[in-house]
Amino acid sequence: MKKQLLHLVLLALFGSASAATPGKAQFNLHCVSLRFQPGTTTSLGLRYNLDLTTDSSAASTVNGELAPLPVGAPSSHGCYYRLGGDIFFEPVSGSFFLNLPEARDDNTNAIADFFEVSQAVSAVTTIGTFEDFERSGKITTTWSREANSKSGTCRLNMDGYGLTFNLTYEILEFIGTLNYTTSATNVVGFVTLTNTLTPSKRLSGRVDFAKVTPDRLSLGAGSWTDETGRSTVFFGSEELDRHSTNYVNSLGFKDGDLTTSVEDYAFWLLRISDSNDANGNGIPDLSDVPVPRSPSLGVSLSNRQLLFSVRGEVGKRYEIERVSALGKTNWVLATSLTLTNDPQTATLPVPTNGIGFWRVKVP
């Protein structure tokens, strides 16, 4: 039997429709609260101890948190304290109003250096106040921390008591990645984060963004799972503004530290850094309008049938057209299909003369 030679030429064309585009970005969380370890000092041979907390209940769980205060408060941060010692029958409880150093951003990533483990704090002094049922007065605090150190020192002087504590504070930070798929109007992704302070602590879960403009994203509320399977709820953020390749704004949690018995460490800064820029227009792919994805066409022969493998965007309609010779313009629709899988197979008969030219395109 004489074998018939089959000549195939495959072409791919695409229209103006935008397709879902995958990408990977850096995803960092920086807590605006600080965690203080209990402190001790001695004065005139007497021993004193100091604990910080944001729990105002009678049980007064000591969580070590120094939390941000609302705009208009007398200082940037505040908490309750318990001062105990040899001269006290029971600890004295009061309130701290402390000021953190003024915000600097030497690495120009739109996050204050103070809250980044990678950045140093060099002996900056600030003034605050304290108040309890016995005394009130001025607090002088001197902050220092080496670069790439999660722990720093706060030298805290309570003027009214004449006591100075060298306290250890810790920066809470999660760093990780965001794997995302972006379309013209939204971004769907999955984050995997590791706690810088305690690497065994992790968070992971889905994120959903709406595209406000090519420079702004809005994060919807959701929840993530920690390393033990517990769920932590986060609230939708305000619009994330773009600063070069960084997207930055605040992010609130219902409970930012599930290891304590109270809801605490709720306020964080979110920074997403995306270096992907497929069209080279200076706007990262995370918020930019996706570059149209060209469909592709493959073919194989089976039982005198042509099996066309179409790759493209699931949910989009594609057309396979045929012409008998190159140079002709009278392309004829051979079949059309809406992808439910990528790739997806379409079956067509072999031309009687064994010669054909096919192309796939977006209508």
Which helix (H) or strand (E) segment holds residue 132: the answer is strand 121-132
According to the model, what pLDDT value does residue 12 have? 43
Which helix (H) or strand (E) segment holds residue 121: the answer is strand 121-132
Domain boundaries, the chain: 7-19+292-361, 26-273
State how far the Cα of 181 lies from the Cα of 30, in Å rounded to an integer. 24
Q: In terms of pLDDT, which residue wins out, 344 or 265? A: 265
Q: In terms of pLDDT, which residue wins out, 38 or 346? A: 38
Question: How many other CB atoms are found less than 10 A from the CB of residue 312?
Answer: 24
Residue 180 confidence class, pLDDT cut points 50, 70, 90: very high
Backbone phi and psi for residue 358, each to the nearest 5 degrees, phi listed first: -125, 155
Tens digits of residue pLDDT in 164-176: 999 999 999 999 9
Question: Taking residues 200-221, what's their average pLDDT?
Answer: 94
Domain 7-19+292-361 classified CATH 2.60.40? Answer: yes
Question: Taking residues 284-290, what's their average pLDDT?
Answer: 90
Question: Taking residues 204-208, what's their average pLDDT?
Answer: 97
- Cα dihedral angle (145, 106, 79, 68), rounded to 10 degrees? -160
Tens digits of residue pLDDT in 298-339: 888 888 888 888 888 788 889 888 888 888 888 889 899 898
Do residues 343 and 311 lie in contact, with contact meaning Cβ atoms separated by under 8 Å?
Answer: yes
State how far the Cα of 20 lies from the Cα of 88, in Å rounded to an integer. 66
According to the model, what pLDDT value does residue 90 have? 86
- Specify the pTM: 0.78
Collapse the DSSP code of 113 into the 3-class scheme (helix H, G, I; strand E, B; otherwise coil) and give the result: helix
Least confident of 95-109, 117-131, 221-235, 311-325: 311-325
Q: How far is CA 206 from CA 29, 219, 254, in A?
A: 15, 11, 17
Q: What is the mean pLDDT of the chain?
A: 89
Assigned token pair, 16? 């103006």
Region class of 199: left (phi > 0), else alpha (psi between -120 and 50), else beta: alpha
Do residues 226 and 232 lie in contact, with contact meaning Cβ atoms separated by under 8 Å?
Answer: yes
Q: In terms of pLDDT, which residue wins out, 356 or 112? A: 112
Do residues 80 and 132 lie in contact, with contact meaning Cβ atoms separated by under 8 Å?
Answer: no
Q: How far is CA 44 from the centre of its chain?
A: 50
Tens digits of residue pLDDT in 134-145: 899 999 999 999
Backbone phi and psi for residue 221, each to the nearest 5 degrees, phi listed first: -70, 160
Q: In terms of pLDDT, which residue wins out, 298 or 55? A: 55
Strands (E), 183-330: 186-195, 202-213, 216-219, 222-226, 231-234, 240-243, 246-252, 267-273, 296-302, 305-311, 317-323
According to the model, what pLDDT value does residue 122 have? 92
Asked if the bond preceding 349 is cis, omega within 30° of 0, the reply is no
Question: Taking residues 350-354, what's their average pLDDT?
Answer: 78
Do residues 66 and 169 lie in contact, with contact meaning Cβ atoms separated by under 8 Å?
Answer: yes
At residue 31, what is the residue type?
A: C
Burial class (CB in 10 A: 0-12, 13-18, 19+), 189: buried
Residue 291 confidence (pLDDT) above 80: no
